[in-house]
Structure 1
Amino acid sequence: MQVKEIYVSAPGKAILHGEHAVVHGKVALAVSLNLRTYLRLEAATTGKVSINLPNIDIFMSWDVSELKQLIPYFRGKSDEVQRLDGELVRILREFVGIANGNSDSCNMATLAFLYIYLSLFALSELPSLTVSVWSELPTGAGLGSSAAFSVCLAAALLCASGVIPTTLKESDHTSRWCQEDLELINSWAFKGEIIIHGNPSGVDNAVGTWGGMLRFLAGKIIPLSRVPLLRILLTNTKVPRSTKVLVARVKDKINKFPSIMGPVLDSVDAISCTCEKVLSEMTCEPITGEHYNILEELIDINQHHLSVMGVGHPTLDTLCRVTLARGLHSKLTGAGGGGCGVTLLRPETDSSVVQSTIQDLRDCGFDCWETSIGGPGVQQHTPVTIKQDILEVLNRY
């Protein structure tokens, strides 16, 4: 194995504008969250391969000798980055003892780990190693937690196998990979996402890889080179929802009222494009209050459009009402019908207002964090750059 120890992290994601409209050929803007998933990979001398996911109460371990039995199936497959081999996934399901039809995300995360590990090391000696992962992202909230996991997994295992270099210089605390290596990380992470979710768009793992903001249109993902770092509140209403049901609800409404819903989708498209233009301006000229005025108005308009589409929820209405009482502007992010919302914080927003708002939202039964959007994608770290509480968890295993 090429490394003895490596620490990596990747961000979660939120949809800033364009959710649901993107399904119908309109622009969506996805942004990175400064809530990250951290992974530690360490060479072991136990003769075992182990994965620890304390967020979801998973600890799995296999003897290297057991895994070697699978090598004939994986040999010759290690360069096939573009597509997932369904037969290999089936073999892994049998090996781990996961019944067909069981798509529990915990089981799928384990499969994604084994698939990438065996694919990358199939042509060499299987190393004994331990992977530990800890995330600041809530699972199942539409914030890209599984993609951040897949991106970290791909980056660490690609480094460990020598396919891409470790990028930390002696004087560095954090570092990033070159564009070619990032594309390789993204390709393997997308395989992990396919295993976990079945038919992902590729947006979540792309945000986890490149960070910042991405423009998504008709299946084409374009990372935007420069975006401002914006402070937000991220609120989880903790109301479960089905993305599939909500997407179908919007489609039904469009089919029923095409002359009404068509202009709504066009307006959401224009909101995304206008927001992209404003954010671009904010990176190359002095940021003014007018920039934030426009961003706030776009948030309000888009939230109303999403309610018209039928993906609002009383808890999201409560979120908007509570924050507006403090002079702040919010919208849902993702599928809607509950789930999460984002609230824009202006630079001059006093910390007392922020803390009072967070408390108001927690009093409603919601989870709420102050964070930011537009931060970096996957990174390699030295331990000193990782928050102490997270480092303690990673080093516990």
Structure 2
Amino acid sequence: MVCQELHLRGGYRLNMLPEALLVSAPGKVILHGEHAVVHGKIALAEALNLRTFLRIKPRKDEKVRLSLPNIGAERDWDVSKLQLLREAFVDSGEPTAPTPEQVEKLKVFVGFMTGSADSECLALLAFLYLYLFICRKQRPLPSMDIVVWSELPTGAGLGSSAAYSVCLAAALLASCEEITGHLREGAASGRWTEEELKLINRWAFLGEKVIHGNPSGVDNSISTWGGALRFQAGNILSLQRIPVLRILLTNTKVPRSTKALVAGVKDKLVKFPEIMNPLLASINAISQECERVLGVMAVAPAPEHYVVLEELIDMNQHHLNAIGVGHASLDRLCQVTASHGLHSKLTGAGGGGCGFTLLRPGLEQSVVEATKQALIGCGFECWETTIGAPGVSLHSESSLKADVLQALNSS
């Protein structure tokens, strides 16, 4: 795929944008450091090449339509009513965080009960918040048609809400001429400049705050920049050179409460500090060693590096079980993949949810297929994909897969 930096081609208004502007952003997996990161240790996150896609088109009928086919939601609003909302909603200056009053005002406008927090409600609130603030300088507010479709399952700890917020921020900023909205001639896809990415990320973080209240900022950052990030004590560092790794991503479909799992680790830490502190320190050392190995692999990859990565995966999974965030479904995932000579661990909160399996180079596809079928036979969902993927990107229509185009164009 041809990928070039984007360049602005003079000024334009929304009705002068291409017939359709297409944006995508990746999800994320935590390689190592989940739960330990809550206690000041390192976490390593990588961009997952299961992506969220957005199509934005101008309209001429003074309406704004948002379609979310994954959750069967579609809404449209009159621009005149949105302008009245803006006047009552948007104050002067750059927003730093959505206030509870603003969120409740949006809920009333959309028609949801106060306190409602289902996925449709939160997705609509995040869109309206970003639309009203990013487009606040437009007179009148722009009419547009937006469709968002995702390869990512929701509620699985894979950063689906962040990818949604990043896509919205990029598309709205481009439509309002705050960032570039055109590809170079002949380019299949493109990325924004560093300054433009910072702007996208800042707005996406506000969208995440509407959805989650107090997010860490990791998910929107990895979705914006792609590649890999190191996160520790609130500080986010992009890892400049990392290899792309093939994985199987498995969703056990076992629901879990992140809040309850985090609280359980904290309780154990209070009850057994001399046991838990060494475990968390050991998880931190695993993250540090993984970061070192990935850096070496980016320069001169060798088969022995994959052996080390597999050993680190096994050790961390045992540690995560020891601190109390394992689950029988995740044990089953590890047993099935181990029976095919592969190595897996949970990613994210644990207690069910998702895990990933490293696929080393040269692995026969028959082994991969047999493993996938065995996991599906357990009632799990399974995807063969990569991590270390590009961040938020602009696309030509010809560069997207047929199923993505069908999903975006049929809504």
Asked whether 1:58 is paired with 2:73, we answer yes
Q: Separation in 1 of the partners of 2:144 and 2:313?
A: 46
Q: Give the counterpart letter for 1:360 in structure 2.
A: A
Q: Give the counterpart letter for 2:380 in structure 1.
A: F
The Cα offsets for residues 183-217 of structure 1, whole Å up to 9 and x where unpaired, read as 11011111111111111111111111001100000
> TM-score of the superposition, structure 1-length normalised?
0.97
Residue aligned with 1:70, SS:
helix
Q: In the alignment, what sits opposite 1:389?
A: 403
Residue aligned with 1:98, SS:
coil
Q: In the alignment, what sits opposite 1:260?
A: 275
The Cα offsets for residues 343-367 of structure 1, whole Å up to 9 and x where unpaired, read as 0000011000000000000001100
Deviation at 1:85, TM superposition (A): 3.9
Equivalent of residue 37 in structure 2, options 22, 30, 33: 22
Q: In the alignment, what sits opposite 2:57?
A: 42
Q: In the alignment, what sits opposite 1:313?
A: 327
Equivalent of residue 205 in structure 1, options 220, 229, 232: 220
Equivalent of residue 390 in structure 2, options 364, 368, 376: 376
Q: Separation in 1 of the partners of 2:222 and 2:81?
A: 35
Residue aligned with 1:69, SS:
helix
Deviation at 1:271, TM superposition (A): 0.3
Q: In the alignment, what sits opposite 2:132?
A: 118
Q: Separation in 2 of the partners of 1:245 and 1:75?
A: 36
Q: Separation in 1 of the partners of 2:137 and 2:299?
A: 48
Q: Separation in 2 of the partners of 1:341 and 1:92?
A: 36
1:167·1:176 contact (CA, 8 Å) conserved in 2? no
Q: Give the counterpart letter for 1:89 in structure 2.
A: V
Q: In the alignment, what sits opposite 2:259?
A: 244
What are the residue-to-residue correspondences of 1:1-397 with 2, within 5 Å?
Answer: 1-2=13-14, 3-4=17-18, 5-77=20-92, 79-124=93-138, 125-285=140-300, 287-397=301-411
Residue aligned with 1:270, SS:
helix
2:97·2:209 contact (CA, 8 Å) conserved in 1? no
The Cα offsets for residues 141-191 of structure 1, whole Å up to 9 and x where unpaired, read as 110111100000000000001111125111211000111110110111111
State the identity %.
58
1:81·1:187 contact (CA, 8 Å) conserved in 2? no
Shift of the 81–168 alpha-carbon distance from structure 1 to 2, 3 Å rule, reads: farther
Deviation at 1:89, TM superposition (A): 2.4
Q: Separation in 2 of the partners of 1:369 and 1:121?
A: 37
- Return 5+ residue gaps in structure 2 as ranges: 1-12
User: Runs of 4+ in structure 1 displaced over 3 angstroms?
Assistant: 74-77
2:246·2:358 contact (CA, 8 Å) conserved in 1? yes
Q: Separation in 2 of the partners of 1:22 and 1:293?
A: 25
Q: Separation in 2 of the partners of 1:81 and 1:380?
A: 26
The Cα offsets for residues 90-118 of structure 1, whole Å up to 9 and x where unpaired, read as 32122112222111121011011111111
Q: Separation in 2 of the partners of 1:219 and 1:230?
A: 26
Q: Separation in 2 of the partners of 1:71 and 1:340?
A: 40
Q: Separation in 1 of the partners of 2:212 and 2:106?
A: 16
Deviation at 1:375, TM superposition (A): 0.8
Q: Separation in 2 of the partners of 1:390 and 1:227?
A: 27
Deviation at 1:244, TM superposition (A): 0.3
The more displaced of 306-315 and 95-104 is 95-104
The more displaced of 134-143 and 99-108 is 99-108
Deviation at 1:32, TM superposition (A): 0.6
Q: Separation in 2 of the partners of 1:302 and 1:148?
A: 27
1:52·1:58 contact (CA, 8 Å) conserved in 2? yes
Q: CA RMSD in A?
A: 1.1
Residue aligned with 1:142, SS:
coil
Q: Separation in 2 of the partners of 1:60 and 1:45?
A: 17
Q: Give the counterpart letter for 2:54 in structure 1.
A: L
Q: Give the counterpart letter for 1:227 in structure 2.
A: I
Residue aligned with 2:260, SS:
helix
- Return 5+ residue gaps in structure 1 as ranges: none
Q: Separation in 1 of the partners of 2:97 and 2:41?
A: 26
Deviation at 1:123, TM superposition (A): 2.1
Aligned length: 395
Residue aligned with 2:345, SS:
strand
2:24·2:167 contact (CA, 8 Å) conserved in 1? yes
Q: Separation in 2 of the partners of 1:342 and 1:167?
A: 36
1:212·1:374 contact (CA, 8 Å) conserved in 2? yes
1:73·1:88 contact (CA, 8 Å) conserved in 2? no
